[in-house]
Amino acid sequence: MQKSALLLVTCLFGLSLSGCAAIQGDQEQQADTSPKETENTASSTKQEPEIRYADFEPEELYLLLSGEIAAQRGRFDVTLVNYMKAAQLSRDKTVIERTMRIAQSLNADNAQKKLAALWLDVDPDNMQAHRISAIQAVKNNDLETALGHMERIMDLGGDADFDSLAAMAGNLPPQQQQELLQLYRQMEQRHPDNPELQYSIALLMKVTGEPQQALDKLAPLLDDKPNFQPALVLKGDLLYAIGDKRQALDHLLRHTRRFPDNRQMGTLYGRMLIGEGELQAAQDEFNRLVRRFPNVPGLRLSHALVALENGQNALAEEELTRLIEQGHHADEAHYYLGRIADEENNTEQAIGFYNNVERGNYYFPALARASELMAEQGDLDEALAAIRELKNNNPEQEENFHLLEINLLLDRERNEQALEAANKALEGYPANIRIRYARAMLLDSMGEPEQAEADLRQIIDEQPQNAVALNALGYIITTRSDRYDEARAYIERALEIDPENPAILDSMGWVLYQQGETERALDYLSRAWQAYADPEVAAHFGEVLWQTGEQEQARIIWEEGFEQDPDHPILIETVERLTGEQSP
């Protein structure tokens, strides 16, 4: 039986995977279409596609037909098995290629590896087969084999994508990164004039933590090829990495104007401007990029967010609305539109936007804020009911919904209900650190420091490097007992793990003050205040200043604390106890 019969049957079934032209090889999807084939295709667009005939054995034809029938029934696994057998029996290039597409659509790595080997056995110079073999070798951590296939692609005149593999190296363990770098250097010795290899080596040096050496590697390449744009982008990135930030920005500004169509360069420049706090310049750059690349949603989202940071809410709202209309980044866009409405006190509108966030990283923050707004409007029970319904309908996310419920109750000072919810959550999820920590803080606020300590010790037993739990335990012991040496030991451990955390600096200052080390206490409390001017830090810092005779300075610190929260209980108690005056 001939292939014409096969095409007739498969077209009748609709070829659910790729269309009835797939068996003969769809010219649009073939990786290696010759110029002649391209010309013939272009000149015959209005004609029926040419049918190429080839003989198949009955068993081969049966396997192909069975595979297509299975695809129609949604059994793509059966389709792949049958096509694999047909490819191995027939060794037909078009069947192998069709089977490869099926394997790729199913992310079947083992099948792709076997098919690529078969393909190369039938057609040793097929660049697509070499490319797939290289990808599979990388996935199997066989870097030398991967580079062998890539080198063969280069010898055949194709794009070997050395830079793509180098960029992927960030996901490899350090030992394999070094191995890959060594293999690239060996290949460079065989191909000393290949700029892509030189660039890839510099990129690998960046990945392995050698930015200065990478810059040195790029210098002769850019001297020889000053318009090699990937190297220009990498140079800007490397200059920033070694701390030459102004030089990096000047370099990228100059070359984004030379190469305005280089989206990667412009995006890097815009992000660096954000990192340096030059937000208006960043907005201008993303505005330029959006106008040049109007169909790239990520650029429009960046433009919206930097406009939002610049207080240009109307522009941000316009861009975010357009993203939603275009069906891109809808969850992020709804979240930030909610933020805008929230800031403008359009509560109902904000709740609506937040509730339109359906998935992703913004889902729980949006749901949390929508619930808070509902509670502020007097609809706490309705908000809790919605959270519980979502929890019941999404058991895979039950832990997160428990935490959301607990935090909402805490925010509304429903402490008894919050404790009940936390106890229930920990019955089902005793290993959940966030819920246990929330319960510890709640128990402490309810005058149960011993139970709070027990929860925190359990967290530390499971996570000895948890600086937050170590600090909380040390602070509770400091404020609820006179076991200052024990408290200080926990806080010191926390400080070793996270030395610049202002909450830990505050705890360290406070325990030192309780132990009579006033000067050292002032040093830590001053650093905590500079890093994070929180009312509780103000209470501690101000008290130590007051006791050392710096009473005017203490009043200044307290006033700044009250500006943030005039009802902060610790700050109020401190001021009234020390001054005998009512707090402002």
CB 289 within 8 A of CB 303: yes
DSSP letter, residue 481: S
pLDDT band at 32 (very low <50, low <70, confident <90, very high): very low
Interval 312-322: pLDDT, tens? 999 999 999 99
Per-residue model confidence (pLDDT) at position 21: 32
pTM of the full structure: 0.68
pLDDT digits (tens, 9 = 90+) for 523-559: 999 999 999 989 999 999 999 999 999 999 999 999 9
Three-state secondary structure of 46-112: CCCCCCCCCECCHHHHHHHHHHHHHHHCCCHHHHHHHHHHHHHHHCCHHHHHHHHHHHHHCCCHHHH
In sequence order, what are the beta bridge partners of 55? Answer: 2
Specify whether the CB–CB gap between 459 and 436 falls below 8 A: yes
Residue 291 sits at the vertex; the CA angle it makes with 289 and 292, to the nearest 5 degrees, is 65
| Residue 172 predicted with pLDDT over 90 | no
3-class SS string, 276-342 = CCCHHHHHHHHHHHHHHCCCCHHHHHHHHHHHHHCCCHHHHHHHHHHHHHHCCCHHHHHHHHHHHHH
Per-residue confidence band for 52, with pLDDT thresholds at 50, 70 and 90:
very low
pLDDT band at 281 (very low <50, low <70, confident <90, very high): very high
pLDDT over 70 at 451, yes or no: yes
Which tokens belong to 554? Answer: 């203490």
Q: Which token pair is 170? A: 């960030």
CA distance 504 to 474: 9
Question: Mean pLDDT of all residues in the chain?
Answer: 86
pLDDT reported for residue 157? 81
Nearest to 85 by CA among 110, 49, 115: 115
Question: Does the pLDDT value for residue 185 go beyond 70?
Answer: yes
Asked whether 1 and 9 are in contact (CB, 8 A), the reply is no
**Which pLDDT does position 516 carry in this prediction?**
94
Residues in the chain: 584
